[in-house]
Structure formats: C-alpha cells, structure tokens
Structure 1
Amino acid sequence: MLLALLFLAVPIYSTCYFEDSELFGRCYQFNNHSSSFIDAKLNCTSRGFTLTRIENLTLAHFIGSIAVEKFGETYGSYWIGLSRHQNSSNFQWEDQHPLDFLNWADGYPFSGYDYVAARLSDTQWITLLEPTRLPYICSYDAIEDDTTTEGPKTTKGNGYGNGCQKTDLNLENRCYSFNRQLLSVDDARKSCEKIGKTLAVFDDFYQINFVSSFAQSQFAATYTSFWIGLQRASASTPFYWPSGNYTQFTNWSPGYPFSNQLFVAQQISDTKWKTYTPDSLLFSVCSGIL
C-alpha cells in the first residue's frame, strides 16, 4: 500500500522549543533525568505537555534514533505515555487517544507490570513497575508562529522527477530509496546511478532524521551505517556532494572525520556521520530530484 504523509516541519524557523524535535506537527522533549513513571508524567503535565504517545512505526523509529543520541545510551529504555490503569486490564495513553498501534517486544506485556517503556535498542515496548527510574519523553503540539510558512509536504508514492519511483520516500525536493545489499562505496554509487539517482544527498537535518527513521525498518538493523553521497578528494580538501557543492553543514560523530578516510556513511542509531574506507561493505541510500 502506498503511504501518504504530511510533514509539517518548517525548514527555517523552529516551531518547537529550543532543542526539541518535531515530526507530524508534534514536538518531542527528551528528558535525561531518570524518574519514576508518575514523576515523569507529573513533570510533563506541569508544563502543559504529556508523556509521549507513539502512534506508528515511523514515529517510533524517529524518536528512537534521537533518543539514542539524547540519552547517550544504546541499551536501556525510556518512559512513554502508556500504562494500565488501576482496576483495568486495558492499556491507555495519557492523552486519552485510542490505542490503535501496538509495538510490544516478544513476551510482553507482563501481568502485574503496568507501566510501559520503549527500548533504545529496537523501539519495542516493555512493561515495568512504576518506581523504575528511566529517562522520558514529553510531547506537545507544535507552536504556531505567524512568521513561518507551511513546511514541506512529503509523500510516498508520487512517482515523478529525476530517478524517482512510486515506492520512494519523498521529502522536500528529494526522493530516497534504500539498497539492502552490502556494497563498497563504488558499487553503491553505481547501483544508484543505474536507477537515475546518486548516493543520498541531504539539504538539512529534517531529511537526515526522516530518512534515518525509516532506515531501521528498511535495513532491519540498528547498529550499522549506510553510504551517503558525501566525500572528499583528499585529506586536505573539504567534503562535497555528488553535485560538486561543498556541504553547508556538518553532522559528524565525535572523533570524525578520520584524516585518512574520504567517504562518508550515516549511522542508523543516531543519524551521525562517520568516514570509512572505500572497500567497507555497507547498506546504501540513493536520492533523486523531484
């Protein structure tokens, strides 16, 4: 089934509070102070927010990829706004939204464990006791700003433009496709060129985060990277995209780029860039122009 999505991020002016993240018109605030479920809930509601609701797999992966970076951990969990209320066998979201999406880990929920957390490793849900102390995520509606304009609309399935296909993920002026073969950077580049694309180009962090949120499910992996179209000619020259334009922003993982490595891949877990040798075998993402 072709999926149509409306992405209301604003590329120039943020519609969330500083350092919060936005997707689908909702803002997400990552709180690294470990709290019990009730304390986390009260902290969110005291500011007019709620513990976050996860309504689909796209949102789960988007939040999960940011949480790994924000919380500085790969393993562990964080509270979401789902719990089984007293004298009830049913789980309910804190914002009273219907529970129409489930993402339970195998074997869950446990009887008698009524409070739900999402695992950092795979975004799946587990049940815990209320006093368990975890980081948590609050959410709230994006802030209206009369100085902004409507953000880019995204769809999956328009099927137009240079190299773009019906099954691609489209965001702003680019379409993206996912290659599940493990290839060297040269073979990955040739594979993209065969379908009229280049290795992935990103114009902003919205594209980076959105593509990474899909990469976990597309590649069925979390702890690896995929080739993108950023490279340099030598250790002393700047990085550039396939168009020949130098990158206008950076997204390096700490310690990178390595001085003797010229080609760039993006980590699935935290969206950061690393350099690799050209013979490294990685997944890849291609992009075309809409």
Structure 2
Amino acid sequence: MLALWTVLLLFSAVQSQGCWNPRDVHIGNNCYTFVDKIHTYSNARAYCHSVHASLAGVQSAIDANFLAANAGSQFGVTNGDFWIGLSRAGSEASFKWDDGTSVTFTNWGPGYPNSQNYVAESIANGRWKTLAGAAELPLVCSYDPKEVITTGSPMKTTKVTKTSVVPTKQASTTRGTRLQSGSTNQSPSFTTSQPVSNSCPQGFKFSKLTKKCYIVVMYGDDDSYPDVPTNAPPLTREQQRCTKVGATLATIHSQEENEFVRTLFPENVSYCTAGLRNINSSSSEGDWEWIDGTKMDYSNFSPSFPKPNDSIVQIGHGFWVTYTRTTPLEGVICMK
C-alpha cells in the first residue's frame, strides 16, 4: 500500500493539468475522472461515453497503481473495486479496451481471469479481476484532452480520435421512455406511469407532504436547448429541463421529502439532480444554497461528501453525493 501512496504523491502535482474539470487527474497523455457512483458495467461504460470519454484504459503498472491510489483517496476507502475499460464478448473471446487501443499490458490478480467477462481493479493493490457485468461498482473514465475540440463545455465535446466511441444505447423501461445516450435533437423524456393526483399535470406525482407536483426528467443532450455561458451559475442547464415541462428544480427540506423524491426515479436510474448548488466553490466545504435562494436546512450527504470544487448535489440510494455536472443518463428532479 505504501507504494501506491508513493505513486499518488508523485503525481499529485499534475492533477487537473489540461483536463476538462478541476477534479480530473492528469497522467501521461490521459486525464482520469473518478466517479464515486455505483453502476453496472454497461451503465458505467455509457456514463463515460455520455461525457465523451471511455472507461479507463490502463497501459502500465504505473497507471494501475496510480488509479488505485487515487481511487482510494477520491472514494474515501482503502478497499473495494472499481470498473475499468477492459472486457470481452465471452469466455473464449479476447479482451479489448473500451477506447479501442491494443491490449499490451495486463495486471491480473491470482486466479483471474475467471469465466466472467468484465474487468474491475482493486483499490487495495491495483490488481485486476473479472466480475459479472451486473455487479455495481464505482468507476473511472479516461480521455486524451489533446484529441478533442471543445465548444464551451465538456458535454459539447467532439472526439476526433481514429477510434470513435459510440455511446451505449439504453433500452426503454416500463416506467417511462428514456433518451438514448447517443440521440440528438430530442427533448428530454419523463416518466408517464404516475397517476394524475390533485390536479397535477400528466406524468407528475402529487406529494401530500408539500402539496406540490413532482416529476423526474431525463437530462438528455444539450442539442435541443439554448447554449448557456461557461460561467453560468451551477444548475443553469438542469433548470432548463424543468422549465421545459413548466416546473422548477426541486428543493428538499426534510427526510420525508427526501424519501418521497426517491420514489420518482425511473427504473435503472441511480442518480438524479436536485436544486441544491454550491455558490462558493473556493470554500473547503462550499456554500450550499437551494436554487430558490433558501439555505440548506436539511442534508443527507454520504460519508466524504460534499467535496471541494463540486457544484451540484445528486440524490442516490438514500444518500446525497456532490459532482460537477449532470450527464445524459441521469435525471433531474422537478416540481411545481
């Protein structure tokens, strides 16, 4: 473990250098995004594709140790696994990297690979194991910042590498139509199975506690929305989604309200953004305020959150996490 933390110290000076976001870490030719959100393998890959990256490529023992050390630091744990971008189509097939590069280095732990097909790395020692794709783990994305053309924000980035990454399409669910991550020129979809109650519009769900109507809108792509300045306040883009359905971003002021909004999540959506934002990113813990100007009088942060430099709050499996942006595969909680 000492060797891992030595690697972390050696490379701490290159964090964010040339990367899209201040929390990304730069080593060699790549930047790495550490996502402390659990996903199945296919959803983890789609998550990275939605921000124009790939599940992490690992090309050397230095890379492997570097990722393990940083994952432990950023996820706030000393054990556990995270997804990287190596997988195969079946037990007899060859392993391939998500970004299309050749497999010239492997770092298998004892007894691996086994009959499973999706590769995770250990935080404890940087070794790899093969797991079932249905396992839910945090993940690491990677990208080469020199191989992109930016037009204002990472979400509008166009890859120009020879090997293009096609976002994984997500199937529709019985609880509502979801945007496919590669779609363009489409309005965000929202759940439609909820019954109309107390004069709520179709698709909204009524809360007896707050006497308001709520809905989760899938974030989708930015193509059907007006551009916003890069220095716009946090949640400006998310608020666009709510405005389009005649609502505003939801505020949460009690445990009961928190539990209620979790019942709105469409199937297979793990994180949804609420209307809480950091109005002072220079503070060590931030200054969190609801989009309607009210102060945070209730919170349900997971351990190690909120994190410095993060700007928004997302509701997960009963706990809140902080992050820099919402991605197309996630939801936005709206109310009216």
TM superposition score normalised by structure 2: 0.40
Q: Which has the higher strand share?
A: 1
